[in-house]
């Protein structure tokens, strides 16, 4: 650890996080953005809507970090106590902020087109000891407080309070908080280089690159990030020496050579982005024929902006009738081999190519669970096929997880088979 690292804490406030009703996606986003500009989030803490717990969290994190980012608890309902608490904690008093007031009025008059109630006007009040951070996407303003704390004797710690609504928080971070932090701290450049591998488990991967890992200088760190049967490997350098970037690049190339056979991409891209790029560059189109993934594969492909340029569509053939009518899978084939079979997914590929007039197609059929398994075809049995009009490749998989994860793993493997097939055709 470099002692000059700028340390940040994230505090998320709200009972909904502690009773498990809400998954905290804000913290990951904030951490990623801070990481990009060289700020290290070393602690993330979630507390409920309780006065003492929030107060204590501010004390604890303020003493350990130069930057404390706080999300949540700013809503208009009675359980939202963060704003009055911050007012007392920083010894201010509540005043109406004119900019925030105009923002609230504007949102009600011009966007929501609804009459305002007093509860909404309250949103424009802020402690007089804070600097207001405008919220263009909602009614609750953000607040910046500065305080001398143990962490930064002589200097100050920033406390930044933002709403918990993801798109409001993101707008505030991008437009105000990140630029402010970038200019307020003397930040060291952080460089990441990432590759994604598939087909080798984390421990075998670690074994294969053991010597490489041991030989890395202190300035470069290797992280393993396993996810859905793939492992993301990231080299990180953070230091002021300009030579470090060059070393990082060299070591990255070395790592690439060691893992060439299993590398999916040497960029920090998702599999659907990699596939999308090959299709865009070659001017080809793809479609999917999905049974067990039930539309998730199409969703993955269409989550990329601009995917309409190469994605024609999908037939989600959940029923056998749909397989027969829309994808021309012969009833014979399903009767003889079953819907979860090599023949069926091969027919599905050819049927989708014709129905959706595409250059390439991917098909999935499997048993996702918890029901539907048999001795011969237990839950987790999956057939995936990929092809064009001349050639179809099929492969059988056995996943052994719950329904959600089986669906996700099937989609990842289907995308990876599509990637390999495309790379063969467009080397």
Residue 107 CB, nearest distance to a second copy (Å)? Answer: 10
Residue 47 or 422: which CB sits closer to a second copy?
47
Give the angle 290-295-296 at the CA atoms, nearest 5°: 110
Residue 53 or 146: which CB sits closer to a second copy?
53
Distance of CA 409 to the CA centre of its chain: 16
DSSP 176-222: IIHHHHHHHS-PPPEEEEEEEEESS-HHHHHHHTHHHHHT--TTEEE
Quickly count: other Cβ atoms within 10 Å of residue 238's Cβ. 20
Whether 136 contacts 47, CB under 8 Å: no
Whether 421 contacts 360, CB under 8 Å: yes
Burial of 4 (0-12, 13-18, 19+ CB in 10 A): exposed
Whether 157 contacts 146, CB under 8 Å: yes
- Coil, strand, or helix at residue 77? coil
How far apart CA 235 and CA 201 sit, in angstroms, is 19
Residue 91 CB, nearest distance to a second copy (Å)? Answer: 25
211: which residues sit within 8 A by CB, 6+ positions away? none
How far apart CA 229 and CA 21 sit, in angstroms, is 27
Dihedral sign, CA of 277, 278, 281, 285?
negative
Order across the sheet with 230-238: list the strands: 220-227, 230-238, 190-198, 263-265
Nearest to 287 by CA among 388, 219, 192: 388
DSSP 401-426: S-HHHHHHHHHHHHHHHHHHHHHHH-
């Amino acid at each position: 650890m470099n002692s000059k690292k700028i340390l940040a804490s994230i505090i998320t406030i709200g009972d909904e996080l502690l009773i498990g009703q809400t998954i905290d996606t804000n913290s990951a986003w904030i951490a990623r953005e801070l990481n990009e500009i060289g700020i290290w989030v070393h602690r993330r803490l979630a507390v409920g809507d309780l006065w003492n717990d929030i107060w204590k969290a501010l004390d604890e994190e303020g003493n350990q970090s130069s930057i404390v980012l706080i999300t949540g608890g700013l809503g208009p309902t009675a359980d939202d106590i963060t704003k009055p608490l911050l007012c007392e904690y920083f010894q201010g008093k509540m005043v109406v902020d004119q900019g925030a007031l105009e923002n609230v009025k504007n949102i009600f008059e011009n966007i929501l087109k609804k009459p305002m109630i007093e509860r909404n006007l309250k949103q424009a009040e802020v402690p007089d000891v804070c600097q207001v951070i405008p919220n263009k996407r909602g009614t609750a303003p953000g607040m910046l407080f500065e305080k001398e704390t143990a962490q930064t004797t002589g200097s100050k710690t920033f406390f930044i309070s933002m709403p918990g609504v993801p798109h409001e928080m993101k707008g505030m971070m991008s437009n105000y908080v990140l630029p402010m932090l970038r200019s307020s701290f003397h930040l060291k450049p952080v460089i990441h280089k990432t590759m994604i591998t598939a087909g080798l488990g984390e421990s075998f991967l670690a074994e294969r690159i053991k010597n490489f890992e041991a030989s890395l200088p202190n300035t470069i760190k290797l992280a393993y990030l396993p996810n859905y049967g793939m492992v993301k490997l990231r080299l990180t350098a953070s230091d002021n020496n300009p030579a470090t970037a060059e070393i990082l690049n060299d070591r990255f190339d070395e790592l690439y050579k060691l893992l060439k056979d299993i590398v999916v991409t040497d960029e920090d891209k998702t599999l659907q982005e990699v596939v999308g790029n090959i299709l865009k560059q070659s001017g080809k189109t793809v479609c999917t024929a999905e049974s067990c993934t039930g539309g998730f594969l199409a969703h993955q492909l269409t989550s990329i902006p601009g995917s309409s340029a190469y994605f024609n569509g999908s037939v989600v053939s959940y029923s056998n009738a749909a397989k027969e009518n829309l994808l021309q899978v012969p009833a014979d084939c399903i009767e003889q081999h079953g819907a979860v079979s090599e023949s069926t997914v091969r027919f599905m590929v050819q049927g989708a190519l014709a129905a959706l007039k595409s250059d390439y197609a991917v098909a999935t059929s499997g048993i996702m669970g918890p029901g539907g398994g048999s001795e011969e075809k237990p839950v987790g049995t999956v057939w995936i096929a990929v092809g064009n009009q001349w050639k179809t490749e099929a492969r059988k998989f056995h996943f052994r997880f719950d329904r959600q994860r089986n669906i996700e793993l099937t989609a990842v493997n289907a995308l990876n088979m599509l990637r390999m097939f495309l790379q063969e055709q467009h080397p």
